[in-house]
Amino acid sequence: MKKIYIDTTDNTKILVRLTIDSQEFVKEQKVESRSAQLVLPLIDELLKEHSLTSEKIDEKLIIPYSAAFQVVLNDSIEPVKANVDHLETDFQKKLSDQKIKVQSVVVLIVLFAILLINFVLFSWLNSSNNALTEQVSRFAQNSSNQQEINEQVKSKEARLKSLGWDGGIDKSLLLDQIASLLPPEVSLKEIAVNPINQAQSRTQKTLSFYERRIQVTGNSERIIPVNEWIARIKIKSWVKNIQLENFAYNNELNTGQFTVTINY
């Protein structure tokens, strides 16, 4: 960028300064009094030294240019004008109209900027809302699927429960341990794994079984061997509870009959 600065503040000299980008070149001319005629030669000399030429302005454009500069810089400089009332009135009216136009343009630009911001914000919020709606729809669908799966699992668990399935425990191993601890004085008559719950079956009018229960019936002349056998079974880690339901002596068979219930 090239700029020319003219300094005539000192009445003993004239300074002409040429700025080309960041470089600065100065011409100085001493004068005995203010002389505007010396300025143009200094400018021409400075331009020629740096291979620059001046462009002549048509004299018809000087007054329009000066008038335009005065209008633009009206608030910063003292304008040169004719002391004619109607010209002053027209000038002030022109300035007022120009200010109104500028203010209107500024207001329109501000409104346009606000509308643009609102549009961008609305678009972003709308896209975010659509994304959230899609997530909620997926979550609702997953929740519905989860609920359906849970209901199916409960239905299958109830069916397995009604069939007497109790988690895949090896019941034959449990029965082997029960039999291995049997004293010689005790004999087994019957072992029922998850026996039928007679009372509940009658109430519900459907076949119902006890859960995780082994019912043992057998014979023993005395109750002491039976209690000893119960104590041996009780120490097993898989036994949750063991109880002697009844012990009755049968005179016809000349032996006692007992029923033991084991919960595992």
Q: Model confidence at 11, in pLDDT bands (50, 70, 90)?
A: confident
> Among residues 205, 191, 190, 246, which one has the least CA distance to residue 223?
246
Pick the CATH number of 171-263 from 1.20.140.10, 3.30.70.2830, 3.40.50.150, 2.40.50.140: 3.30.70.2830
Whether 5 shows a pLDDT value over 60: the answer reads yes
Residue 188 has a pLDDT of: 92
Kindly write down the DSSP assignment for every residue of the chain, as one continuous string.
-EEEEEE--STTEEEEEEEETTEEEEEEEE-SS--GGGHHHHHHHHHHHTT----PPPHHHHHHHHHHHHHHTTTTS-------HHHHHHHHHHHHHHHHHHHHHHHHHHHHHHHHHHHHHHHHHHHHHHHHHHHHHHHHHHHHHHHHHHHHHHHHHHHHHHTT--SS--HHHHHHHHHHT--TTEEEEEEEES-B-HHHHHHHTS--B-SSEEEEEEEESSHHHHHHHHHHHHTSTT-SEEEEEEEEEETTTTEEEEEEEEE-
Contact 193, 214 (CB under 8 A): yes
Contact 46, 25 (CB under 8 A): yes
Whether 43 shows a pLDDT value over 60: the answer reads yes
Residue 104 has a pLDDT of: 92
The tens digit of pLDDT for each residue in 90-128 reads 777 887 888 899 899 999 999 999 999 999 999 999 999
Residue 79 has a pLDDT of: 66
The tens digit of pLDDT for each residue in 135-156 reads 888 888 888 888 888 888 888 8
Q: Point out the least confidently predicted range of 78-82, 92-96, 142-146, 201-205.
A: 78-82
Residue 220 has a pLDDT of: 92
Q: 97 vs 82, which has greater pLDDT?
A: 97
Q: Point out the least confidently predicted range of 21-30, 107-116, 129-138, 160-169.
A: 160-169
